[in-house]
Structure 1
Amino acid sequence: MKKVLPPYLAIAFVWFSAHFGGGFASGRQIVAFYLNHQWTSLFMPAVSMLIMAVTFYFSMLIAAKYEAYDYSSWSKKLYGGVAPVMAPVFEVLFNALLVLVTAVAFATGGATITRAFGSSYMLNTVVIAAIIFVLTIYGADLVRKSATVVSLILIACIFIIYIPNIIHFYPDIVHNLAALKSGEIATGSPDTFLDSLWWGLKYGALQCCAIGAYIVHTKACPDKASIKKVAVVGFFINTVIMYMTYFGILAFAEKGVLTEAVPALFVVMHGVGGAWMTALITLCIIIGAVSSGVALVYGTTNRLVIFLGRNLTEEERAKKSGKHAIFSSSTLVIACWLVAQFGLIPLIGKGYGNIGWVSLLVLVLPILMRGFGIWRFAEDVVETAPAK
């Protein structure tokens, strides 16, 4: 990694690629957490990413100080004396997010295909579920290796789609922002600053749920200065892309984009571009949804396989691992498919929203309290801090 990128920059891109998958590329998250609320939501993407950057920074400091690079041992260091209670709560929250994100991947792909080709949403999700199941069993390694490439393609698509539309429809963006401020464009949410702030806080906390995927990379830059660079660079990259999506979708607020399941598809169909851009974003969103779904199902499947074989001998585990994998994967895929039938809009609006406020209380506040020295344990005074 050091031969290609400085470690802090590489970790910032890990944060970047994990944040922006098929669900974000659809544009629905920006609508649900920001554009569906008061005009002051304009400031909230920066607030959300600031919360995540500070939380990310303190989390990596804890990981480096105690050399706790897996989320299980890290959570014990975070919660200290209350870890026997809070660590399992964090585990439940983390796995609930995995199921919900996988369901959103199903729903994103299904809604995108429906919007582009008019086929049945349920049928589309069945096809995506089948593809994810097959890849999980037979081709997960290939898909996981291509995850970074898929993420970079999605990021490139965001630039290709939104930059021309932001430039071309700049007057519409200014007009629609004023219409949001005056109430001419109804958001369907309480018209208050606190409502916008609450949803901005929930989005930042939601993203912090995946902190376990980031802390393992602390090994690459365990010193405080490098960790600070990760937080600053990651904040800048993520915030810029969020505002690009925010303004690109805002340009079409008066044309009904806020009620669309896949706002990004609406933008390319009604904005600058053409049929080729519609095909491009459709393909990328589907690939992103399948890739993230496979990665999550595959990871959870492995944990279930270990659990199912916990009382078996090594020979018996090896013999039954294939059957256990098929059973675990099919169970997870079916469960996530059932959740996906609620539809993309409620999954992101209600599902992610609820996970967000729980994470704010269970995870973000304890991390911030530990980081700012409000909540301390006896072992915190031990001189094991990372090198300067």
Structure 2
Amino acid sequence: MEKQQRQATKTMNFTGIFAVACVLFSSHAGGGFATGNQATQYYVQYGWIATVTAIIAMALLTLTIRECMIMYNSRGLSSYKELFQNLYHPFGKFSVLFDIYFYTMVLCAVGAVIAGAASLLNKTYNISYIYAVLSVGAMLLIMTIFGASLVSKASTVMSVGILASCGVIFILGINEKLPEISNIFAVRASNANIGTGIFKAFTYAGFQSVVIPTMISCGKSLKSSKEISRSMMVSFVINSIALILSIIMLLVWYAEFTQAGETTLPILYIAGQLGRSYVFWAYNICLFLCFISTGVTTIYGFVEKFEKAKALSKINKVIIRRIIVSFFIMFMSMGISMAGLDKIIKYGYGYMGYLGIAIIIVPFLTVGAYKNRKFLKEQNNNINNNNINSKSSFAESADY
């Protein structure tokens, strides 16, 4: 009986560990990943080193989130604001830097969603980019105000669809160039820029750290640093595999899609060259729906936060407040989208990645790791002295 209970506990623990790992995977492998634009700009153009720097980036990201979740869970914190106040203590006011980073990054992400969807409509249906931006913006605005809950429920299905179609394209795309893959890698190796490639890996981890609020919220179910470590190890493996597959396919097609001027949506171009129309249209439809889903859920999160702002407190009707906030966010995001997907990912994500390195990656992997180690050691000493308090249950099973 006891053996069965232990087995059931292990199964439940692994389920929780895997579920949290999948949250990071789904957050990473969204519309930006599915276009191939991010991978091209931050990895592929630097040659063979891309496969190595992708692993470095995923290691940096998962190790950083590990420290975030350990700090959050061990201290019984209740918001990302408290998390960064703990990290920066005794300079807690610097936590505002993450607010600036987070909201700017989210606006860039919504701008990228609009730009990506507009580029997709432009290339597939030859709709003018400006008209496509206006159409996508109007669609997102209406769905945010009236249909956000429906889109949220369907977002998982959309995510599975885009991941499945991308997986098929990665395999078919690599197989298509298999006879010449070694020669392509040899040519790309001669153009490799190792130093810049490694710095871009840090930058990539920097802007991907925007998922921290989501991860610490989901990671509350993990009961020890050992479970957190295992979850991040699983996430590191699955994220690395997906990213490397994407990079290898883009590397072998790089010369072709750059010569064709299709760097904005390279995977769309490759899907069109595979000679399988069902793959192209499945990817096309799933990518568009993924863009819409990401845009609506992101904007709705913004709306929920700011519709209760003091500036709008005199407006009694919730729907009016929601419309005002939605209009403001859409105005900002559509303005950003006019720069185009390439520039948003290069400059918007890039500069936020630099900021992320400075205020998230480096602090958590140095000061944060030190504070976590010290805190858990003190908590374990307290337990050994029978000084158990309300927050020590996490530390009791800690394996730092």
State the TM-score, normalizing by the size of structure 1. Answer: 0.90
1:52 matched to 2:49 = no
1:187-226 alignment runs, 5 A limit: 192-226=193-227
Residue of structure 2 in register with 1:302 after alignment: 304
RMSD, matched Cα: 2.2
2:98 alignment partner in structure 1: 90
Residue 277 of structure 2, aligned match among 261, 275, 278: 275
Instruction: Show the counterpart of 2:108.
Output: 100
- Deviation (angstroms), 1:37: 1.9
Maintained 8 Å contact 1:268/1:277: yes
8 A contact 1:38–1:195 mirrored in 2:
no
* 1:186 aligned partner: none
Aligned-pair CA distance for 1:174: 2.2
User: Residue 49 of structure 2 corresponds to which residue in structure 1?
Assistant: 40
8 Å contact from structure 2 (residues 67, 372) kept in 1: no
What's 2:385 paired with? none
TM-score of the aligned structures, taking structure 2 as reference length: 0.88
**Equivalent of residue 65 in structure 1, options 33, 49, 74:** 74
Say whether the 8 Å CA contact 1:249–1:257 is kept in structure 2. no
Deviation at 1:103, TM superposition (A): 0.4
Aligned-pair CA distance for 1:4: 11
Deviations along 1:207-261, whole A, 9 cap, x unmatched?
Answer: 1122111101222112122111111000001000001111111221121348521
Equivalent in the alignment of 1:340: 337
1:147-190 CA deviation, whole Å, 9 max, x = no partner?
A: 2221111111111111122123123332222111223xxxxxxx
1:137 alignment partner in structure 2? 145
Q: Which amino acid aligns with 2:269?
A: F
Q: How far did residue 192 of structure 1 move?
A: 2.9
Give distance in 2, aligned partners of 1:303 and 1:92: 15
Which blocks of at least 5 consecutive residues in structure 1 are unaligned?
184-190
Cα deviation 1:257-299 (Å, max 9, x = unaligned): 485210110111112x422222111111111111111111111
Structure 2 Cα separation of the partners of residues 309 and 222 of structure 1: 40
Query: Larger C-alpha radius of gyration, 1 or 2?
Result: 2
Please point out which of 362, 365, 369 is paired with 1:368: 365
Q: Deviations over 1:122-145 (max 9, x none)?
A: 111111111110110000011112
Compared CA separation, residues 11 and 379, structure 1 to 2 (3 A)? closer
Q: Give the 5 Å matches for 1:180-329.
A: 180-183=188-191, 192-257=193-258, 259=261, 260-271=263-274, 273-308=275-310, 312=313, 319-329=316-326
Partner Cα separation in structure 1 for residue 157 and residue 344 of structure 2: 26
Report which stretch shifted further, 209-218 or 332-341: 209-218
Structure 1 distance, partners of 2:14, 2:120, is: 35
Q: Deviations over 1:11-46 (max 9, x none)?
A: 111111111111211110000100122432231110
Q: How far apart are the structure 2 equivalents of 1:337 and 1:233?
A: 37
Q: Aligned equivalents of 1:245 and 1:80: distance in 2?
A: 40
In structure 2, what residue type is equivalent to 1:297?
Answer: I
Q: Contact (CA 8 Å) 1:66, 1:77: kept in 2 or not?
A: no
CA contact (8 A) 2:47 2:251 kept: no
Shift of the alpha carbon at 1:69? 4.0
Distance 1:104 1:320 in 2: 31
Counterpart residue number, 1:16: 25
Aligned counterparts of 1:387 and 1:160: Cα–Cα separation in 2: 45
Contact 2:28 2:208 in 1 (8 A): yes
The yes-or-no answer on 1:116 pairing with 2:124 is: yes
| Deviation, structure 1 residue 387 | 3.1
Equivalent residue, structure 1, for 2:348:
351
**Residue 371 (structure 1) shift:** 4.0
The Cα shift of 1:377 comes to 8.4
Separation (CA, whole Å) in 2 of partners of 1:88 and 1:296: 20
CA distance in 1, matches of 2:273, 2:219: 43
State the SS of the aligned residue for 1:37.
helix
Q: Using the alignment, how far apart are the partners of 1:247 and 1:324 within structure 2?
A: 47
Q: Does 1:161 align with 2:142?
A: no
Please state how far the C-alpha of 1:5 moved relative to its aligned partner.
Answer: 7.0
* Alpha-carbon distance, 1:351 to partner: 1.3
Counterparts in 2 of 1:223 and 1:210: CA distance versus 1, 3 Å: same
- CA distance in structure 1 between the partners assigned to 2:236 and 2:146 by the alignment: 37
| Count of residue pairs the alignment pairs up | 373
Q: Distance in 2 between matches of 1:211 and 1:170?
A: 38
